[in-house]
Every structure is written in structure tokens, then in C-alpha cells.
């Protein structure tokens, strides 16, 4: 698909929080009508009431909005228009002239705020105790429909279209060769970049690996599985059976859900933070694993930009089976985090991807760049150093 450039200028961007928006948020949080909860229910039925009340009280009374702005404005940001859609992105140029161009793609219910702790070490390793030879010029977009890119406004904005927008962005920035990295939806964006733009994408690195088992050459793909592969297959099947109601709702009736989540910040917090607790390597204690301000950075991006509906709509628009490539022939690195909820067996991955690097990580989950930024950076550096 050829992108309709529209206004293809690249304009500086800075996060500035409207104080009226903060006042409105605080009023809504103060007036939250809380549901009941069964005694000793814990998290079994979803977000636990006492925890969520505590988080919302902190968000209302103690969250530092000036510090939020400072964190999000630490690195240079821009907006442009691609395919009729506003696109926000960080562009962190390395001081090292021979740095490798890198594009990072997030997923749901994350945002570009997931990457705030890795942008500096990736772009300027020397300033963070690393080797200057490992430097990257980092591009990190807010995917269309997410955060400061704003809502999408027409049908058909699926993940393949998002991947084409990311490719156009890298071209517009003058990067004719680059490496791509991603998790969650960003992993599918990354796989599509590798599959569809092999003349420009030198390699990909992912936290998840999308594939269609039915596309594998074996008549019965399970025959390819060793003991670890079976464990991965069964763990993913268990997750799909018990934890993917969110996917079914967002892929069928996202608009109905969006009314509540767009109107109630407590509702939005309950929907998103339950996923962070379930999908992170936190052993049930999210606050001890990820700083609460970081969690609220991500949540506040959704609230302030009004993009929860369009972010969920990506599930409706995307036919995952049709979107997933049958072959990705560029060098591929995979970091397997122990709490990752989607675990692709290595034997299956090797049938679809050109696996050059597979690392069983010691800690971390679905939101690796936020949960364990240093191991995330180290593994990405290691992979790019190996194939380069």
C-alpha cells in the first residue's frame, strides 16, 4: 500500500497537560461509584477493589503531573501525518555517528511510555556505562490509535497497515536500513516489517513470536515439539482458555466497552492494571515490581488522549491469522521472558523465522522494557552485535 503523505512535514512535539484535564480527572476519581466485591475474592474475579481504590486515590491526590511531563519530555518527540493519520514518535539520535537505526513498537495495553527507561541507554550507551559501539538511533512511535498519535478515524486500521506506517516513518526519517524490535502487537508489526521490507530491515528482535501453526510444513505441528515445546504449547493454551476474554470483547464489541472506560478513570485503571498484574513477572505484587508512577504514566497517556477505544479497536480490525506472515527471512532474535503469556515453541519458530538468537531471560514478563529495562537493553545489544 502506498501511503498518502498529506502533510508530510515533521513537527516538534511536547507533552503539556491541561490543568483543566487534571481537575476533571480528580473530580471523576473522587466521585467514583465503586462496585461491590465478595469477601476474600482477591483478584480471582478481576481487579481487586482495595488495591484499585488505593491506586486511584494516589492518582487523584499524589501523582506529580509536572514530573509526568518531565519524564515524557526528556527526549525529543515529533509528529507527522502518514496515510491520513497523525503519528507521534520519539526520535532519539545517538551521539555516536555509526549508531544502528532501531525502531521500537509497543502493544496493548502499553504505550510508548513503556520505553522511557531504555531510550537513553540504547541511544547513548557510553553515558550509561556501556560500549559506544552498541549505540542506536532510536525511533519509538505511538502506534496509530494509541496515545499522542490520537484516535484512528476510519475502518481498516489493522496491524499490517500500522506496520506500513512505521516503514513509511523510517523512510521519511532517512533510514534506508534499520533493525526493528517489538512485543505484543509490536511483535506482529516487527514481524511484518521483516517479512515485507527485507530490503530495508536488517534484522528483527521480539519478545513474542507470531505464527500460524497451520502454515507449518508438518502435517501435525505438535509432532515437532520436544518436552519444552509441549510445556510452552500447554501454558499458552491455558492462558487462552482462562485469560483472553478481554480479546474477545475488544475484537467484537469494543465500542460498548469504551463508553465506561472513556468516562471513568477508575474503570480504565481496573481494565488496564489487571492486565499489568497478570502479565508481569510480579508474583502478584505489581507495586513491588513496577514503580507506581510508571504504571500511572502509561494509564495517564490513555486517559489524557482519549485513545482507549481506538487502541481496543485494533483487535476488531485485525484478522490475526491473515495478518501473520508465513515466513520471515531476515535474521531474528527472540528474548523469552519467564512470565510472557504467549510462549511460542522454538521448533515452530524455527520453521517461520530465521532464528539467530534465542535467549531464555532470567526475569521479566510481557512489558519487558518497563519491567526489566537493563536486561532488555543488554539482550538487544547482544543480538545486534552477533548478527552484525
The pLDDT-based confidence of 217 (bands split at 50, 70, 90) is confident
Alpha carbon 371 to chain centroid, angstroms: 12
The pLDDT of residue 1: 30
Q: Coil, strand, or helix at residue 13?
A: strand
Q: What value does the mean pLDDT take over residues 26-37? A: 98
Alpha helix ranges (H) inside 119-184: 119-123, 159-172
Cα–Cα distance measured from residue 380 to residue 250, given in angstroms and rounded to the nearest whole number: 31
Cα–Cα distance measured from residue 351 to residue 289, given in angstroms and rounded to the nearest whole number: 35
Q: What value does the mean pLDDT take over residues 327-339? A: 98
Q: Give the tens place of pLDDT for each residue, 50-62.
A: 999 999 999 999 9
Tally of domains within the chain:
1
Residue 4 domain-assigned?
A: no
The pLDDT of residue 358: 98
- Is a pLDDT exceeding 90 seen at residue 7? no
Q: What value does the mean pLDDT take over residues 364-373? A: 98
Q: Residues in the chain, how many? A: 388
Q: Give the tens place of pLDDT for each residue, 261-300.
A: 999 999 999 999 999 999 999 999 999 999 999 999 999 9
Cα–Cα distance measured from residue 172 to residue 148, given in angstroms and rounded to the nearest whole number: 19
Residue 1 domain-assigned?
A: no
Residue 2 domain-assigned?
A: no
The pLDDT-based confidence of 28 (bands split at 50, 70, 90) is very high
Residues 88/94/95/98 CA torsion (nearest 10 deg): -130
**Is-contact 9 80, C-beta < 8 A?**
yes
pTM, rounded to two decimals = 0.96
Tell me whether strands 136-142 and 201-206 are parallel, antiparallel or unpaired. unpaired
- Ranking 21-25, 149-153, 186-190, 223-227 by mean pLDDT, the lowest is 223-227
- Is a pLDDT exceeding 80 seen at residue 18? yes
**Is-contact 111 146, C-beta < 8 A?**
yes
| Angle ∠(118,121,127) on CA atoms, nearest 5 | 150
- Is a pLDDT exceeding 60 seen at residue 38? yes
Percent of the chain with pLDDT over 70: 98
Boundaries of domain holding 244:
11-387
Which of 237, 242, 339 has the alpha carbon at shortest distance from 43? Answer: 242
CATH number where 219 lies: 3.40.50.1820
- Is a pLDDT exceeding 90 seen at residue 388? no
Residue 89 domain-assigned?
A: yes
* Active site (catalytic) residues: 184, 316, 366
Residue 182 domain-assigned?
A: yes
The pLDDT-based confidence of 6 (bands split at 50, 70, 90) is low
Rounded to the nearest integer, the mean pLDDT of the chain is 96
The pLDDT-based confidence of 367 (bands split at 50, 70, 90) is very high
Q: Give the tens place of pLDDT for each residue, 104-162.
A: 999 999 999 999 999 999 999 999 999 999 999 999 999 999 999 999 999 999 999 99
The pLDDT of residue 215: 87
Amino acid at each position: 500500500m502506498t501511503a498518502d503523505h498529506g502533510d508530510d512535514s515533521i513537527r516538534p512535539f511536547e507533552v503539556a497537560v491541561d490543568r483543566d484535564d487534571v481537575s476533571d480527572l480528580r473530580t471523576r476519581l473522587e466521585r467514583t461509584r465503586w462496585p461491590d466485591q465478595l469477601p476474600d475474592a482477591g483478584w480471582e474475579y478481576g481487579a481487586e477493589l482495595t488495591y484499585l481504590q488505593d491506586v486511584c486515590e494516589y492518582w487523584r491526590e499524589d501523582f506529580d503531573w509536572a514530573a509526568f511531563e518531565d519524564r515524557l519530555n526528556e527526549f525529543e518527540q515529533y509528529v507527522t501525518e502518514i496515510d491520513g493519520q497523525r503519528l507521534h514518535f520519539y526520535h532519539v539520535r545517538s551521539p555516536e555517528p555509526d549508531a544502528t537505526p532501531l525502531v521500537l513498537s509497543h502493544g496493548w495495553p502499553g504505550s510508548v511510555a513503556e520505553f522511557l527507561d531504555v531510550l537513553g541507554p540504547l541511544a547513548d550507551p557510553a553515558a550509561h556505562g556501556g560500549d559506544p559501539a552498541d549505540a542506536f538511533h532510536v525511533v519509538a512511535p505511538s502506534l496509530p490509535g494509541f496515545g499522542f498519535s490520537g484516535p484512528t478515524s476510519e475502518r481498516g486500521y489493522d496491524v499490517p497497515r500500522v506496520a506500513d506506517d512505521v516503514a513509511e516513518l523510517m523512510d521519511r526519517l532517512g533510514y534506508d536500513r534499520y533493525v526493528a524490535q517489538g512485543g505484543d502487537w509490536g511483535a506482529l508489526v516487527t514481524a511484518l516489517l521483516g517479512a515485507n521490507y527485507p530490503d530495508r530491515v536488517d534484522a528483527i528482535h521480539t519478545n513474542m513470536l507470531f505464527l500460524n501453526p497451520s502454515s507449518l510444513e508438518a502435517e501435525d505441528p505438535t509432532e515437532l515439539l520436544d518436552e519444552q515445546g509441549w510445556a510452552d504449547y500447554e501454558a499458552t493454551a491455558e492462558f487462552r482458555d482462562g485469560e483472553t476474554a478481554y480479546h474477545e470483547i475488544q475484537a467484537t464489541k469494543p465500542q460498548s466497552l469504551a463508553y465506561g472506560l472513556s468516562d471513568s478513570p477508575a474503570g480504565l485503571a481496573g481494565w488496564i492494571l489487571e492486565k499489568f498484574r497478570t502479565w508481569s513477572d510480579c508474583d502478584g505484587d505489581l507495586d513491588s515490581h513496577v514503580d507506581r508512577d510508571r504504571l500511572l504514566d502509561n494509564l495517564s497517556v490513555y486517559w489524557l488522549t482519549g485513545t482507549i477505544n481506538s487502541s481496543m479497536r485494533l483487535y476488531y480490525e485485525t484478522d490475526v491469522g491473515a495478518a501473520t506472515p508465513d515466513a520471515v527471512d531476515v535474521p531474528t532474535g527472540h528474548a523469552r521472558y519467564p512470565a510472557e503469556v504467549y510462549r511460542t515453541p522454538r521448533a515452530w519458530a524455527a520453521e517461520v523465522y530465521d532464528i539467530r538468537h534465542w535467549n531464555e531471560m532470567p526475569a521479566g514478563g510481557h512489558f519487558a522494557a518497563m519491567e526489566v529495562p537493563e536486561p532488555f537493553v543488554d539482550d538487544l545489544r547482544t543480538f545486534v552485535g552477533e548478527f552484525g
